[in-house]
């Protein structure tokens, strides 16, 4: 299915989905890059730099799809908006905090994103299905890596376990928002762009995760979240990150690179 | 002037090295999806290895530079139409990787179509040491110096080595 074949409400919902996914990957990529040089071991400096590069690459591809659909410039989409204009899930409004916190956030995000990518793998919107096919192969490595870290912290003694469990408790309500806040997701499901509405994708994610959480005796999700999932209200932590990642561009918006 | 054929184009492409692992060419890596040659127009479609690979534009530009002049119009494009997978690396490419100390990737089963991505957490990557051939190796880091590499340690010859990721 091409962009022209989509009815206006579906097209608009697709634009919202692409922007939300692109912003999720973009903002997480920048939080990941915060660990470069200060991760607990050298291997993790390398790993988080790679994860960041993957996510920012995925964001670039998704911003390009959005630009192809609605017009505009991918770089302008990525760097040209005020902090309130971003549509990432509020899970990504938290700062990197400590290592257990970053591991917990990434694990929750990666597993939720995996469920979302599964639901887009056979998308009727072919340009998206094509990019998702590539992303899924790369995300395999993210899942493996974060799962290994969750297991290591959960079984690594009292302190790492307590820190991981506390981070999960704190992050769960916001993690539910990764698969929320998409207007018109039911329309996308009817049109075959998305396999099923986001509430069903979320149930699939939680069902897949439950046995692992039970095995490691880690906290599970609350029944529901409250409040908006994707802004426009943003934390001071995200504003700080925005200042950082837009700094060079704002210093000379007309520069040609 | 002799007329250029598709075979000539493939031969030229086989001379374009990967910028990050120059022992292999873009043909060895299976990056070339198709070559079309008609009415003075040469069109080559390339597959990106990793979505965020910073070498993509370098690869596209070096292919365009190598093919320049082979036809009045030369077009080189990147496409996601077919997902590049490490299964596309040729037998010759795998041999060249091994000879220069890179373990070639195993089959790219995980993350493939039709399987829930979460099932990936049960996957345990393994590799055979490209230096001594031992299978007694330990995964050191899933991530390496570039997006496409994983780091292993050989317990027999006590050397670190890299494996091209199976994607």
A36 at B interface, C-beta within 8 A:
no
Number of neighbouring beta carbons within 10 Å of residue B59: 23
A109: which 2 tokens? 């995000």
Task: Kindly determine whether residue A141 and residue B52, on different chains, have CB atoms separated by under 8 Å.
Answer: no
- B121 neighbourhood in chain A, CB within 8 Å: 143-144, 147, 212
B159 secondary structure, DSSP code? E
A100: which 2 tokens? 């257990």
Contact A218, A164 (CB under 8 A): yes
Contact A204, A115 (CB under 8 A): yes
A54 CA to chain B: closest CA distance, Å? 5
Backbone angles phi, psi at B36, to 5 degrees: -125, 130
- A55 neighbourhood in chain B, CB within 8 Å: 52
DSSP H helices, A42-125, are: 42-70, 74-79, 99-120
B109 at A interface, C-beta within 8 A:
no
> What is d(CA B67, CA B58) in angstroms, rounded to the nearest whole number?
14
Q: Given a cut of 60, is residue A188 above it in pLDDT? A: yes
pLDDT of residue B3: 83
B22 CA to chain A: closest CA distance, Å? 21
- How confident is the model over B133-161, as pLDDT tens digits? 999 999 999 999 888 899 999 999 999 99
Query: Worst-scoring range by mean pLDDT, A13-22, A57-66, A243-252, B104-113?
Result: B104-113
> What is d(CA B128, CA B135) in angstroms, rounded to the nearest whole number?
5
Q: What is the mean pLDDT of residues A177-195?
A: 97
Task: Kindly determine whether residue B51 and residue A134, on different chains, have CB atoms separated by under 8 Å.
Answer: yes
Task: Kindly determine whether residue A137 and residue B141, on different chains, have CB atoms separated by under 8 Å.
Answer: no
Helix (H) or strand (E) holding A239: helix A236-251
A236 CA to chain B: closest CA distance, Å? 29
Name the residue of chain A whose CA is nearest to B167's CA: A137
Q: How confident is the model at residue B1 (pLDDT cuts 50, 70, 90)?
A: low
Task: Kindly determine whether residue B116 and residue A117, on different chains, have CB atoms separated by under 8 Å.
Answer: no
Q: Given a cut of 70, is residue B113 above it in pLDDT? A: no
A108 secondary structure, DSSP code? H
Q: Given a cut of 80, is residue B112 above it in pLDDT? A: no
Q: How confident is the model at residue B116 (pLDDT cuts 50, 70, 90)?
A: confident
Q: Given a cut of 70, is residue A12 above it in pLDDT? A: yes
Q: What is the mean pLDDT of residues A140-152?
A: 95
Name the residue of chain B whose CA is nearest to A57's CA: B52
Number of neighbouring beta carbons within 10 Å of residue B12: 17
pTM for the model stands at 0.94
Q: What is the mean pLDDT of residues B114-124?
A: 80
Cα angle for residues B145, B150, B151 (degrees, 5° grid): 85
DSSP H helices, B39-155, are: 56-67, 91-99
Task: Kindly determine whether residue B121 and residue A55, on different chains, have CB atoms separated by under 8 Å.
Answer: no
Task: Kindly determine whether residue B117 and residue A114, on different chains, have CB atoms separated by under 8 Å.
Answer: yes
pLDDT of residue B54: 84
Percent of chain A with pLDDT over 90: 93
B132-157 as b/e, with b when 16 or more CB fall inside 10 Å? eeeeebebebbbbebbbbbbbbbeee
**What is the average pLDDT value for chain A, to the nearest integer?**
96
Q: How confident is the model at residue B110 (pLDDT cuts 50, 70, 90)?
A: low
Percent of chain A with pLDDT over 70: 100
pLDDT of residue A48: 96
For residue B118, give the nearest of A57, A131, A208 by CB distance. Answer: A208
Task: Kindly determine whether residue B144 and residue A54, on different chains, have CB atoms separated by under 8 Å.
Answer: no
**What is the average pLDDT value for chain B, to the nearest integer?**
92
- How confident is the model over A225-245, as pLDDT tens digits? 889 999 988 999 999 999 999
Nearest to B113 by CA among A113, A107, A123: A123
Q: Given a cut of 80, is residue B111 above it in pLDDT? A: no
- A143 neighbourhood in chain B, CB within 8 Å: 117-118, 120-121
A85: which 2 tokens? 């204009």
Please name every residue paired with B25 in a beta bridge, in sequence order, or none if there are none.
B17
| Beta-strand pair B149-154/B32-38 | unpaired
pLDDT of residue A3: 83
Q: How confident is the model at residue A100 (pLDDT cuts 50, 70, 90)?
A: very high
Contact B51, A57 (CB under 8 A): yes
B72 at A interface, C-beta within 8 A:
no
A208 at B interface, C-beta within 8 A:
yes
Cα A75 to chain centroid, rounded:
19
């Amino acid at each position: 299915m091409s962009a022209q074949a989509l009815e206006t409400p579906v097209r608009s919902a697709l634009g919202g989905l692409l922007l939300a996914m692109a912003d999720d990957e973009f903002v997480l990529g920048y939080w990941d890059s915060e660990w470069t040089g200060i991760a607990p071991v050298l291997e993790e400096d390398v790993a988080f730099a790679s994860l960041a590069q993957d996510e920012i690459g995925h964001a670039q591809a998704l911003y390009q799809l959005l630009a192809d659909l609605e017009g505009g410039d991918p770089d302008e989409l990525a760097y040209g908006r005020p902090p309130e204009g971003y549509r990432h899930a509020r899970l990504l409004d938290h700062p990197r905090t400590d290592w257990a916190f970053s591991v917990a956030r990434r694990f929750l995000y990666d597993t939720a994103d995996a469920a979302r990518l599964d639901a887009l793998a056979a998308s009727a919107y072919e340009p998206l299905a094509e990019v998702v096919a590539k992303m899924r192969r790369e995300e395999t490595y993210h899942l493996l890596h974060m799962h290994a870290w969750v297991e290591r912290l959960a079984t690594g003694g009292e302190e790492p376990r307590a820190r991981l469990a506390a981070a999960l408790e704190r992050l769960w309500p916001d993690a539910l928002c990764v698969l929320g806040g998409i207007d018109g997701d039911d329309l996308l499901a009817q049109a075959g762009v998305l396999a099923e509405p986001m509430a069903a994708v979320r149930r699939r994610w939680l069902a897949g995760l439950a046995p692992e959480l039970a095995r490691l005796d880690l906290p599970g999700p609350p029944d529901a979240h409250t409040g908006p999932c994707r802004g426009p209200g943003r934390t001071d932590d995200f504003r700080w990150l925005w200042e950082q990642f837009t700094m060079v561009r704002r210093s000379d918006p007309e520069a040609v690179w | 002037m002799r007329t250029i054929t598709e075979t000539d184009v493939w031969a030229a492409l086989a001379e374009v090295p990967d910028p990050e692992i120059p022992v292999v060419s873009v043909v060895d890596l299976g990056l070339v999806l198709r070559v079309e040659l008609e009415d003075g127009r040469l069109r080559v479609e390339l597959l990106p290895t990793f979505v965020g690979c910073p070498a993509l534009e370098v690869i596209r530009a070096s292919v365009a530079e190598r093919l320049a002049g082979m036809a009045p119009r030369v077009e080189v494009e990147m496409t996601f139409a077919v997902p590049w997978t490490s299964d596309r690396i040729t037998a010759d490419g795998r041999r060249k990787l091994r000879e220069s100390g890179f373990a070639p990737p195993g089959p790219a089963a995980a993350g493939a179509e039709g399987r829930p991505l979460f099932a990936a957490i049960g996957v345990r990557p393994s590799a055979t040491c490209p230096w001594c051939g031992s299978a007694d190796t330990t995964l050191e880091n899933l991530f390496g110096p570039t997006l496409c590499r994983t780091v292993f340690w050989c317990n027999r010859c006590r050397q670190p080595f890299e494996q091209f990721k199976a994607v």
